[in-house]
Chain A
Amino acid sequence: MIKQNILKLLPVVIILALFLSGCTEKIDLKLGGTYTRLVVDGCITTDTIAHSVKLTTTSDFFNNEPSPTVSGALVSITDGTRVFPLTEDPLNPGVYKTDPTVFGQPGKTYTLSIQLANEINGYSAYEAYCYLNPVSKMDSISVVYMDSWELWEIQCWAYDPPQTNFYMFNIFKNNILMTDTINKVMVTDDRLFNGSYTNGAGIGYLRKDFSREKVFPGDTIKAQIAGITQDYMKFITQVQIESGYKNPLISGPPANIMGNINNGAIGFFSAYSVKYCTTIVK
């Protein structure tokens, strides 16, 4: 979390440092195209719900349309003994769902298998697997307004077990997911606080300048803690960096995100435990 904090703060330093006459301007840029790859975005969690996997393809960068979806594929998830078939949602082409009674169990490795109707980039069969880590519970959460940043910080009290753990946090306001795009979720390892209490560490932020995120007294804030794998943590971090703003002072060279799907497909199939904690804003 330290690192994320620093990376967020550095641009502030720079701007203050120079009263930069730095400005931005829209420019015209011609970019070449690239070949099509399959994109997989799916997960299975310990919640008992219909877990979904979305299949799309890449397109040219300035395509400026939703991604083309991939329909008619055979998709299934297995934990080694049982097989959960996924069926395509008739209302959402390219989205494949399990039965709503399915739940993942910590300690098992889940495998996603995809058989496409037509091959993409030379392959029609794709596979990915992910171990489902357990997660410990949060004792409590609280919501604190931070004046200087004009945002609400969701703080968490929890005990981090002595093993190496990787966490993802999602925030709901009145049961609506606020962290609805991948660049809003927070992920961290426990390298700097392994085996200790978190004492109200920030696990999510809601911004005042977004009407959707504004917090009022009486609102119910729910936090989800997820025990994820190291690979998934790295993947989310990479997605956040590559889809975010680049700054030559601190950004490394751009690089393609690295997922866990084979045969050159992009994306990640993840499995993780989730637990929840709720508070009502006073």
Chain B
Amino acid sequence: MKKIIPILILLVFLIDFHGFAGNPTVKSITVSGKITDKSTGEVLLGANVFVKELKSGTVTNPYGFYSISLPPGKYNFSYSYIGYEAYEKAIDLQSNITINIELAPKQQVLKEVVVTGKKTSENVDKNEMSVVKMDIRTIRQIPALMGEVDIIKAIQLLPGVQTTSEGSTGFSVRGGSPDQNLIQLDEATVYNASHLMGFFSVFNNDAIKDVKLYKGDIPPSYGGRLSSLLDVRMKEGNTKKFTATGGIGTISSRLTLEGPIDKDRVSYIISGRRTYADLFLRLSSNKDLRDNTLYFYDLNGKINFTVDENNRLFVSAYTGRDVFKNTDFKMSWGNKTATIRWNHLFSKRLFSNFTLIRSKFDYGLGIPAGRADSFKWTSILDDYSARVDFSFYPDPKNTVKFGLSTTYHQFSPGSAKGLGESSFFNEYNLPQSNALEHAVYAGNEQTLTHKLSVKYGLRLCMFQNIGRGVIYHFDKNYESIDSTVYSRGKVFHTYLDWEPRLAFTYLLDSTSSVKASYSRTVQYIHLASNSASGNPLDVWFPSSPNVQPQVGNQFSLGYFRNFLQNTLETSVEVYYKKNLHAIDFKDHAELLLNPKLEGELRFGTAESYGFELFVKIQKERFNGWVSYTLSSSTRKIPEINNGKAYRSPYDKPHNISIVMNYVISKRTSFGANWVFASGAPVTFPTGRAIIGNKVVPVYSDRNAYRMPTYHRLDLSITLKGKEKPGRKWQGEWNFSVYNAYARKNAWVINFVPDANDANTYYAEKTYLFSFIPAITYNFHF
């Protein structure tokens, strides 16, 4: 660590010097401020600030802050954001000035239904690729399973993103594993983003403001995962007036309250969601069903406090839990996150953010006391993090970001014990492990010429295993020989890695550009899971002397082109990824309650490449997109599949998503999406052996076969209530159908013996959802 800091400081200075090198003697003056929504006071992130005289500008950071430094003079500023009225202002710049802008949402005939506004050429000229930002309003238009609007399901409709299994919120980005996605809610890691065995995600859309997925080109401020960053931001709460939003759906109900505590200065939001399947179960005449309790809930809360011009404070928290119990069995799991952030302006050019984060995932299951096999099993993963991020705006051509972060991870993979006097189980604890993960980073976004902009950065990261901990030593056959116990607080192993990030954008003309990027990412904590869908029995484990960090290298190249005054955005990207120390599990790996889990791991390489096409249209009445992905993803691990390369579990060569929304009238809109994907790789039996009077399969090579092709059409129609002057209540009905043509997409294929002849087998597919209708009523006042 001591060695890194001087290097980093040097790097910052180099960037800084470079930034000023063009014109070091002219004094420059800073315009800064924040951009907010006029109606709700929510800050707008990624809003554009454009200086007409320079033909260049900046964008707001995640806290709505912008800063731009210019030589003294008269300028015309233009502030804009998609879906909002642009605002223009002439400024005579003589001394540093703060200009806070409130942008008004566009008053359209078809209010709130269509996301339009100033058509920006961001797709082409922003120095950013392999990134998709989704507005929560767009997400709400997409027909959803059981009417539950789900941001992760929306993300799965984008190029390069595959769903891991039917209806699942697990996703694979560019061939990576689901655990290679860093999912953050207000910067706190969400370790298990799923409810109900993966069929719903933990994000309650009423509390979410903005979602951004980085499939590559991850900014140097983030790391720790190989494949992607899903950055989810919660709303801050309306600073202008009290509002309530809610909905009654087929499986859950939602209510969100927000409003000012001190107008324009302090606001709050509190949002809850709960399913009520179990309430229906109680009415059931079937006793077995009636005795079951089954639900999940989410609770989000946030307070936003503008202390003064230079200081702002955010406190946000999330908790969600799934509970299932009956007289014989009990199981529950959930995430908790809490974030405290303090925005501070050291000067008009130096923005800082100090963050404290806690993130926890735990599960427990067991058999209630009173029986011989009564037991309780719990597992906890707990993170404490602190980070400092700086944004420095030396001039309009450079934006420098630097900072550092540290996280303390505490893994308690499992502790099982008997319950009650009659239980015969002893206490059984897997050893805890602890680790520290540090990072320092610096990067600059620089406009070199009007046509060429670059982005470069470096992230240095360090991972330390600390006691108390037990490390097993394995021989070359992965049998444990002995173990070493390390005392509390002792750092017993350290990994140090560097992650360069590099990107270019070259404008060919005003409507097209070429972009390229390279990124290296390192992952220190990994997930052992036998589930393709997302069951809660996740075992996260750290890198250690036995487990090297996974390292990813990704190259991307893209061509971006806009048509029809930027209402039609298109892009083509190709990527190549090579991962080192890729992890897979040996055959018949024992992942649960296994203290020697590391002996079940096998290491090799993973490779993926692909082609992604994205066409997005945004017209007054019609919007939507088409995405097509052609990809390949394989792994090669010496001890698996006899050392031959095999398809990774989420390798689906062809993937098409078509999403569209059409506004029929002022009060009616229609949504549809169609997805098509090649079948997932699967291992099928090719031979049989009979052992103990039972047919036992002899398998093909790993993942040598494919499941049948998957496709599905979903439809929805939204009817809004009449708007009357003076009436606050706004309601809408949403009717949706999942899998409208009831295709029986195979979820799993089993080989089952005939009821009358144990030697005769046939193949049987299980399909989950065919034609699922749902009704949701949403309201707002």
Q: Does A196 contact B (CB under 8 A)?
A: yes
Query: Which of A18, A22, A268 makes the CB contact (< 8 A) with B196?
Result: A18
Query: Which of A193, A248, A253, A268 makes the CB contact (< 8 A) with B426?
Result: A193
Min CB–CB distance B123 → chain A (angstroms):
37
Min CB–CB distance A133 → chain B (angstroms):
19
Q: Are B683 and A16 in contact (CB under 8 A)?
A: no
> Would A252 and B589 be within 8 Å (CB), given that A2-B425, A266-B698 are in contact?
yes
Measured CA separation A268–B708 after assembly (Å): 35
Q: Does B184 contact A (CB under 8 A)?
A: no
Q: Does B545 contact A (CB under 8 A)?
A: no
Contacts of A28 in B (CB 8 A): 763
Which of B231-239, B624-632, B688-696 makes up part of the contact surface?
A: B688-696
Chain A 1-39, CB within 8 Å of chain B: the 1/0 string?
111011001101110111111111111110111100101
A-contacting residues, B326-374, CB 8 Å: 326-329, 331, 365, 367, 372-373
Contacts of A49 in B (CB 8 A): none
Which of A103-111, A177-185, A210-218, A274-282 makes up part of the contact surface?
A: A177-185
Interface residues on B, range: 35 or more
Min CB–CB distance A59 → chain B (angstroms):
6
Q: Are B765 and A22 in contact (CB under 8 A)?
A: no
Measured CA separation A56–B759 after assembly (Å): 14
Q: Are B696 and A3 in contact (CB under 8 A)?
A: no
By beta carbon, the residue of chain A nearest B680 is: A248
Contacts of A101 in B (CB 8 A): none
Min CB–CB distance A205 → chain B (angstroms):
12
Q: Are B289 and A26 in contact (CB under 8 A)?
A: no
> Would A192 and B693 be within 8 Å (CB), given that A2-B377, A9-B329, A20-B768 are in contact?
no
Min CB–CB distance A25 → chain B (angstroms):
6
A-contacting residues, B711-770, CB 8 Å: 744, 746-752, 757-770
Query: Which of A32, A66, A149, A193 makes the CB contact (< 8 A) with B424?
Result: A193
Min CB–CB distance B479 → chain A (angstroms):
12
Q: Are A249 and B767 in contact (CB under 8 A)?
A: no
Q: Are B425 and A193 in contact (CB under 8 A)?
A: yes
Contacts of A266 in B (CB 8 A): 689, 691, 696, 698
Contacts of A14 in B (CB 8 A): 197
Q: Does A239 contact B (CB under 8 A)?
A: yes
Query: Which of B373, B749, B758 makes the CB contact (< 8 A) with A1?
Result: B373
Contacts of B277 in A (CB 8 A): 17, 19
Measured CA separation A108–B98 after assembly (Å): 87
Query: Which of A24, A34, A268 makes the CB contact (< 8 A) with B687?
Result: A34
Min CB–CB distance A185 → chain B (angstroms):
8
Measured CA separation A21–B167 after assembly (Å): 13
Tell me what chain A mostly uses at the interface: helix, strand, loop, or mixed.
loop
Q: Does B416 contact A (CB under 8 A)?
A: yes
> Would A58 and B533 be within 8 Å (CB), given that A14-B197, A196-B424, A252-B585 are in contact?
no
Contacts of B703 in A (CB 8 A): 253
> Would A24 and B422 be within 8 Å (CB), given that A239-B694, A254-B699 are in contact?
no
Q: Are A254 and B693 in contact (CB under 8 A)?
A: no
Query: Which of A27, A66, A183, A242 makes the CB contact (< 8 A) with B697?
Result: A242
Chain A 175-202, CB within 8 Å of chain B: the 1/0 string?
0000011110100000111111111111
> Would A60 and B687 be within 8 Å (CB), given that A29-B763, A32-B700, A182-B693 are in contact?
yes
Q: Are A243 and B695 in contact (CB under 8 A)?
A: yes
Contacts of A267 in B (CB 8 A): 689, 691
For A33, A148, A237, the residue with the greatest tally of chain B CB atoms inside 10 Å of its CB is: A148
Contacts of B757 in A (CB 8 A): 64
Min CB–CB distance A247 → chain B (angstroms):
6
Chain B 408-435, CB within 8 Å of chain A: the 1/0 string?
0000000010100011111010000000
Contacts of A208 in B (CB 8 A): none
Min CB–CB distance B380 → chain A (angstroms):
18
By beta carbon, the residue of chain A nearest B708 is: A27
Contacts of B327 in A (CB 8 A): 148
> Would A3 and B593 be within 8 Å (CB), given that A148-B288, A256-B699 are in contact?
yes
Min CB–CB distance B457 → chain A (angstroms):
38
Q: Are A61 and B698 in contact (CB under 8 A)?
A: yes
Q: Does B702 contact A (CB under 8 A)?
A: yes
A side interface size, CB within 8 A: 87
Min CB–CB distance B370 → chain A (angstroms):
12
Contacts of B331 in A (CB 8 A): 13
Contacts of B694 in A (CB 8 A): 181-183, 239, 243
Q: Are B759 and A65 in contact (CB under 8 A)?
A: yes
Contacts of B11 in A (CB 8 A): none
Chain A 36-49, CB within 8 Å of chain B: the 1/0 string?
01010100000000
Contacts of B285 in A (CB 8 A): none
Q: Does A91 contact B (CB under 8 A)?
A: no
Q: Does B198 contact A (CB under 8 A)?
A: yes
Q: Does A155 contact B (CB under 8 A)?
A: yes
Contacts of A120 in B (CB 8 A): none
> Would A58 and B425 be within 8 Å (CB), given that A21-B772, A249-B197 are in contact?
no
Query: Which of B281, B329, B587, B752 makes the CB contact (< 8 A) with A256?
Result: B587
Query: Which of B288, B589, B592 makes the CB contact (< 8 A) with A3?
Result: B592
Query: Which of A60, A180, A197 makes the CB contact (< 8 A) with B688?
Result: A60
Q: Does B43 contact A (CB under 8 A)?
A: no
Q: Are B749 and A29 in contact (CB under 8 A)?
A: yes
Contacts of B761 in A (CB 8 A): 61-62, 64
Measured CA separation A16–B747 after assembly (Å): 17
Q: Are A27 and B699 in contact (CB under 8 A)?
A: no
Contacts of A250 in B (CB 8 A): 530-531, 535, 537
Measured CA separation A246–B765 after assembly (Å): 11
Q: Are B697 and A22 in contact (CB under 8 A)?
A: no
> Would A248 and B748 be within 8 Å (CB), given that A2-B373, A202-B373, A254-B699 are in contact?
yes
Min CB–CB distance A219 → chain B (angstroms):
22
Q: Are A253 and B702 in contact (CB under 8 A)?
A: yes
Contacts of A181 in B (CB 8 A): 692-694, 758
Query: Which of A9, A17, A258 makes the CB contact (< 8 A) with B587?
Result: A258
Contacts of B705 in A (CB 8 A): 31
Q: Does A67 contact B (CB under 8 A)?
A: yes
Q: Does A207 contact B (CB under 8 A)?
A: no
Q: Are B324 and A13 in contact (CB under 8 A)?
A: yes
Measured CA separation A198–B423 after assembly (Å): 8
Q: Are B698 and A201 in contact (CB under 8 A)?
A: no
Q: Does A262 contact B (CB under 8 A)?
A: no
Contacts of B690 in A (CB 8 A): 39, 41, 56, 66-67
Q: Does A163 contact B (CB under 8 A)?
A: no
Q: Are A26 and B763 in contact (CB under 8 A)?
A: yes
Query: Which of B281, B748, B760 makes the CB contact (< 8 A) with A16?
Result: B281
Q: Does B392 contact A (CB under 8 A)?
A: no
Q: Does B452 contact A (CB under 8 A)?
A: no
Measured CA separation A187–B288 after assembly (Å): 28
Q: Does A251 contact B (CB under 8 A)?
A: yes
By beta carbon, the residue of chain A nearest B531 is: A249
Min CB–CB distance A126 → chain B (angstroms):
14
Q: Are A32 and B686 in contact (CB under 8 A)?
A: yes
Q: Are A58 and B689 in contact (CB under 8 A)?
A: yes
By beta carbon, the residue of chain A nearest B530 is: A252
Q: Are B696 and A242 in contact (CB under 8 A)?
A: yes
Contacts of A255 in B (CB 8 A): 587-588, 683, 699
Q: Are B197 and A13 in contact (CB under 8 A)?
A: yes
Query: Which of A10, A31, A56, A185 makes the CB contact (< 8 A) with B684?
Result: A31
Q: Does B685 contact A (CB under 8 A)?
A: yes
Measured CA separation A236–B684 after assembly (Å): 20
Min CB–CB distance A18 → chain B (angstroms):
7
List 5 A-B pairs, minimum CB-CB distance, nearest first: A182-B692, A255-B587, A252-B530, A34-B687, A199-B424
Q: A239-B694, A255-B588 are in contact. List 18 more A-B contacts (CB 8 A).
A: A21-B769, A22-B766, A23-B744, A37-B687, A41-B691, A58-B698, A148-B288, A148-B291, A181-B692, A182-B693, A192-B426, A236-B692, A243-B696, A248-B531, A250-B535, A255-B683, A256-B699, A266-B698
- The 10 sampled A-B contact pairs (Cβ below 8 Å) are A13-B197, A22-B766, A29-B763, A56-B689, A66-B690, A242-B697, A245-B752, A255-B588, A258-B588, A266-B691
